[in-house]
Amino acid sequence: MPDAGGTTAKELGRVVEGRGAWVAASAVLGLLSISYGSPLLIVIGLKPITASLGTAREITALAAALTWVGTGLGGILMGWVADRLGVRRIVIFGAINIALGLALSSLGTIWALFIGQGLLLGLLGNGALFPPLLVYVSRWFDRRRGTALALIASGQYIAGVIWPSLFEQAMARYGWQATMTGFGIFAALAIPPIAMLFLHPAPEQPYTEAAVAGRRGRPLGLPANLVLAMLCAAGFLCCVPMALPQSHLVAFCTDVGVPPAQSALIFSVMTGCAFFSRQFWGWLADRVGGLLTLMLGSTCQALAISAFLLTQNEAGLFAVSAAYGLGFSGIVPAYVLVVRELFPSSEASWRVPMVLFVSMSGMAYGSWFAGALYDHFGYYAPAFVLGVAFNLANLTIVGFLLARQGLKGGMRAAMA
């Protein structure tokens, strides 16, 4: 069927697993590599921003936490809107709000930072990109959906490789406020052209929804909403410890005597390792399914979080951060894959953002409570201990769901 410009879907490559699918995935990877630079500004500038505002580290960490909450909550709304207005318009709307959020955050007051990060940068900015784009790309793929989701979710780690050192240098030379404003302008100029050129409508799913719905009425033999609630709880519990290195690693490293430039490099090493290992996790997920991938990734994360408790020197922090990046990177795409495996495609636009919202709330809570515990104790060890406890609770829930699915015969659920 021709689109508004008279071009057929076949000419645009709009078929599942076709050329257009990989063009769309590559474009989304580029978009997320830019948009995910925005929340890193507080991570890199946590100590100078806190000093400039004359507040506690807990307060600045709370602003970073609001970004995660806003992104997850915004994704629920924006996923619904994207199904009706198209993903291009939502992405452009998000880019404009990222720029506005960073401009407001740079004014130098606590409330401007909270509103800029939570409402504009999170809810209306990244909330209009990350969750809707994950759903969008998942509809382009079937057999290699796990690989595709792992690829695009790696935009977060490409951002973590590229931007931290640049942000650290820019903040040292121009200050954190000018750096925020400058990156916001860059995002507003770079994201819309990519969206307009490459985000074509996804193909219609070649599956009969009635048949899928009948087969999936009780996923894993349980009520559908109960399974979704358990996935949300598991997501929250694993994202609390996940937030500790991602939000506090640079501050943690400088606290133990590592220079700021080296601390930013350690963060980049962590995210670089996460990028490359995420491709492996995506390949694995396509073969063993989302739940088993989730179990393995969460186990690796628990072990790495524990290792931070034993590490204080620069070489050790490089090694543990690299190991952490290798281990945890398959978790978030695995949640999206599990939802797509267990529920119909027509429900993806709200079930996927719901899981992401609760998971990102876990990221927000982990970011805040690590800062609060630091302010109370003066060091990060208590936060890492509690992070391990949260991770073990996550493994209990995921293990139960995996047992319901069964390790034999049903390990790889059918796609929708």
Please determine, for residue 212, whether its predicted confidence score (pLDDT) is greater than 50. no
Confidence bin at 101 (pLDDT 50/70/90): very high
Mean of all residue pLDDT scores within the chain: 86
Per-residue confidence at 410, pLDDT binned at 50, 70, 90?
very low
CB 346 within 8 A of CB 222: no
**pLDDT in the model for residue 123:** 93
Section 349-356 average pLDDT? 87
pLDDT tens, residue by residue, 261-297: 888 888 888 888 888 888 899 899 988 989 999 999 9
**For residues 299 and 238, is the Cβ–Cβ distance under 8 A?**
no
- pLDDT at 310 > cutoff 90: no
Dihedral sign, Cα of residue 83, residue 85, residue 87, residue 91: negative
* Per-residue model confidence as pLDDT tens digits over 102-115: 999 999 899 999 99
342 exposure class (CB count in 10 Å sphere: 0-12, 13-18, 19+): buried
Asked whether the predicted pLDDT for residue 214 surpasses 80, the reply is no
Question: Model confidence at 4, in pLDDT bands (50, 70, 90)?
Answer: very low
Domain boundaries, the chain: 19-405
More confident residue, 363 or 391: 391
8 - beta bridge partners? 2
How far apart, in Å, are the Cα atoms of 401 and each of 226, 287, 294, 337?
A: 11, 18, 11, 14
Q: How far apart are CA 128 and CA 126, in angstroms?
A: 5
CATH class of residue range 19-405? mainly alpha
pLDDT average, residue stretch 346-373: 87
H-helix or E-strand containing 400? helix 381-405
**What is the model's pTM?**
0.76
Where does the pLDDT of residue 93 fall: very low under 50, low under 70, confident under 90, or very high at 90 and above?
Answer: very high
Output the six-digit token pair for 69: 């909450």
What's residue 206's pLDDT? 52
Cα 157 from Cα 108, distance rounded (Å)? 28
* Tokens 């860059």 belong to residue: 186
| CA atoms within 13 Å, Cβ hemisphere of 219 | 25
